[in-house]
Amino acid sequence: MSILAVGAVGAGLVQIPEVDEVINKFLEPSFAGSTLYTVHTRDGLLWFGLALGTVLGLSGIAIAWRIWVKQPSIAVAARTRFKPAYTLFVNKWYFDELIDALVVKPAAAAGRFASTTFERVFVDGALIGGATSLVRAGSASVRAIQTGLLRYYAALVVLGVAALGLYFLLQT
């Protein structure tokens, strides 16, 4: 958390008037001639926004310290008085349940369908099984003509060369 705090302070310094001129000057050549690059805010308004943000942040810290550290009975009383709001906030506005119902369960159902039906029937059955069956049929036909006799192999080579020669003779 301390690393994040240091990063937040560093990022906050970038927004202080007269300090952020370094970034403005660094980016100025990139946006030369652009009307969108010019800063339209007055320095007084910037300082007011910084002061207001600081006051609101420190007020929030003071209120939280009083409720949770100095007088924890305030938190207990608020919890019992605003029970529906407390339940809503404790359950994170039920976003987890909503995401579970809208994203996780449909994705899990699609995954189950893909795993049980599509993958087993189409991929394993048609694609892989079809290719395997094709290879088995081709190897069975090749096995039938493989006798192991040299004269049959020589005859097939001669027939192949003759067929190739006939093919080229018919092309002209």
Report the pLDDT value the prediction gives residue 83, as an integer from 0 to 100.
94
- Amino acid 14: pLDDT: 67
Give the model's confidence band at 172: pLDDT under 50 very low, under 70 low, under 90 confident, else very high. Answer: low
**115 to 41, 79, 121, 169: CA distances (angstroms):** 58, 47, 10, 55
Query: Which pTM value belongs to this model?
Result: 0.41
Query: Residue 65's pLDDT band (boundaries 50, 70, 90)?
Result: very high
Tokens of 71: 């007088």
pLDDT at residue 120 tops 90: no
Share the mean pLDDT of the chain: 86
The pLDDT value recorded for residue 141 is 84
